[in-house]
Amino acid sequence: MKNKSFFWTSYSDLMTSLFFVMLLLFVTTVIMMYAHGKANEEELNKIHQLEHSVQAIDSRYFEYNSQFKTILC
């Protein structure tokens, strides 16, 4: 009975390698989502600042229509 099968050894090595590849992809995705989330916060702050500045336009010269979010001359 010296006839050994190497199937399970190679199969477990393959699954271990696949696990580490998936772990690396998961960590990379989480890091990229976190970095993208910070960029979205900055963009959101700029949008709020722009909306505030549009609403502060002098009403003698322009009229802001809040329903359509447009400025009329």
Question: pLDDT value at position 3?
Answer: 63
Cβ(40)–Cβ(30) under 8 Å?
Answer: no
Question: pLDDT value at position 33?
Answer: 86
pTM over 0.75: no
Question: pLDDT value at position 2?
Answer: 60
Q: In the Cβ-directed half-sphere of 29, how many Cα atoms lie within 13 Å?
A: 6
Token digits of residue 61: 């010269």
Question: pLDDT value at position 15?
Answer: 93
Question: pLDDT value at position 42?
Answer: 80
- Residues in the chain with pLDDT < 70? 1-6, 73
Question: pLDDT value at position 26?
Answer: 96
Which residue type, as a one-letter code, is found at position 26? F
Cβ(64)–Cβ(57) under 8 Å?
Answer: yes
Beta-carbon contacts of 67 under 8 Å, excluding residues fewer than 6 positions away, are: none
